[in-house]
Amino acid sequence: MFKTIAIASDHGGYEYKETIKTFLAENFSDITIIDCGPSDTQSVDYPDFAQAASGKIDAGEADGMILICGTGIGISIAANRYESVRAALCTDVTMARLTRQHNNANGLALGQRIIGIETALDIVRTFVTTEFEGGRHQRRIDKINVKPN
């Protein structure tokens, strides 16, 4: 399980970010949460907040992150620009479980305009409690980390 999770959103994901922070605090007291913003629903640019959370992964200050925007697409693209990040956009618990088991994803992206909050919380619970299986999956992760020629 993750020890420290950075969480960030844009204005389109702010409500879910706040609800997820409360959910994590109430259900996973052993996880430290780093809020990377924003602090309200004023319009902001998702790459700024994806970068803030991804920077925590890069610096070793967090071992996991949760990102929320309107669809989850833009914020996941921005986060995956970081070499140490494997952020997966998930819309159901099966995706969340498999991305942890098979891809060792350290980032979860959600779309506030795409899924309901109860689904989002089920996805978060699954993401933070599922472990990487290793084995043949590690070989595949190693291939992802190879820089193209």
CB 16 within 8 A of CB 9: yes
Report the alpha-carbon distance of residue 76 to residue 73 in Å, rounded.
Answer: 5
69 an active-site residue?
yes
11 an active-site residue?
no
Please pick, among 11, 36, 69, 90, the residue that the annotation labels catalytic.
69
- Torsion angle (degrees, nearest 10) of CA 38, 47, 43, 74: -110
Cβ-based neighbours of 87, under 8 Å, separated by 6 or more: 54, 65, 67, 76, 79, 80, 105, 106, 107, 108, 109
What residues act catalytically?
69, 102
